[in-house]
Chains A and B, each alone.
Chain A
Amino acid sequence: MQSCGSGALNTLITNPILTERLKQTDEGKVFLEVWPTISTTIDLAQISTELLTSFVKNSKSVSNVLSDLPEAEAKRLDDLIAKSDEVLVKRGVGAAYAGSVFKVGDNIAGKIIVQVKAGINGKIAVIGRKMDGHVNEAINSLQSQGKQVEAFNDVFQSGKSFNIDGANYSWQEIVDDFGNINGKYSTNSDGWIIDEELPNTLMYKANQKWVQKLLDDGYEIIDIGYPINNNTPSVFYNMELNVIFP
């Protein structure tokens, strides 16, 4: 049983300056919302995964404010975070704040992170405007560091199937459909499927499914944006951004 004890960390409730500072950020507000439940529970194992994850992640995010707690209380808070994390690991969620390793401005294989969505399952997905020489390089770099990674490319999607509009399709069927050999989709004179038609392709729908899976499963999602010298918009990339970073 992971007990946190009663009456811990009264300063968080009684110190108006500290609570006011916490209220100044979204993370601080969430921390104050979950804190009454966390601080009064007898057994952390009875707390939902969602609440524990929120507590651990947001505690880390506002650690600069919480560091002003009296020393003994700061230590008790650290213990509480560590015990919560233990519970999460036992549930197979992994380190709850592992997804916060990367931040905006960090560099992966020469690519600058422009946005990060924190995760809870310890796995990382990378998105960006280009795969070849951009996302794929970042992925290779993360893999070489031993990270569990994923991208919407052949390497990670071959062998998987996607349920689209009630039917199952292999990655190869999806790629072939995008090849538009039978002229299923309207094209311009060079054969490019026109933008208005792209959302009807299996590839676009598979991309949507993949993005939703990342969100449902709690992947940390790293956006490395556009490569140098390429700011051409992409219907696919724009969809990813709109869903992940609305």
Chain B
Amino acid sequence: MEYLFLFAERVVANLKSELVSNKESIGHYSFDKCLIYNSSLEISFKNDMSVIRCNLSVHPLDMPWKLRVSIDDISLDSEYEIFPNLLKSPNTLGNELSNKLAKDIVIALRGNIK
């Protein structure tokens, strides 16, 4: 379970940083919540208009694991495959993936604004 905390921390930190850096073009988003259960996590950021959600289940019946991202309940096309060694390396592989995830979310938000 601890590895979910460490990975979630990377997602929250990178996404927060990317949202703040791009606030002029996408508007202000605030961290809403990060819920970690035994085998799943849910992270959300929001503002008055919309909600960004990241969900991951590492249940054995959900293998291969994929992190799902949605903006206002519309799923992003990209899929983020999460494998055990990535979760066990939050500062390298986990950080890399969460960085890409954060950038993709900002691109999607810019697309929504256009």
Question: Which residues of A does B touch, CB under 8 Å?
Answer: 128-133, 135, 152-154, 158, 171-172, 175-176, 178-181, 187, 189-193, 198, 203-204, 207, 232, 234, 236-237
Q: Point out which of B2, B63, B64, B86 has the most chain A C-beta atoms below 10 A from its C-beta.
A: B63
| B residues 1-34 in Cβ contact with A at 8 Å | 1-3
Question: Which residues of B does A touch, CB under 8 Å?
Answer: 1-3, 37-40, 55, 57-64, 68, 83-88
Number of A-B contacts (CB under 8 A): 72
Partner pick for B38 among A128, A172, A190, A191, CB 8 A cutoff: A172
Please give the distance in Å from A237's CB to the nearest CB on chain B: 6
Complex Cα distance A193/B88, Å?
Answer: 14
Please give the distance in Å from B43's CB to the nearest CB on chain A: 15
User: Can you name 7 A-B pairs with beta carbons within 8 Å?
Assistant: A131-B61, A154-B39, A158-B38, A176-B1, A179-B84, A190-B83, A191-B86
Residues of A within 8 A of B37 (CB): 154, 158
- A236 close to B40 (CB less than 8 A): no
- A131 close to B3 (CB less than 8 A): no
- B40 close to A154 (CB less than 8 A): yes
Q: Given contacts A135-B61, A176-B1, is CB(A154)–CB(B38) below 8 Å?
A: yes
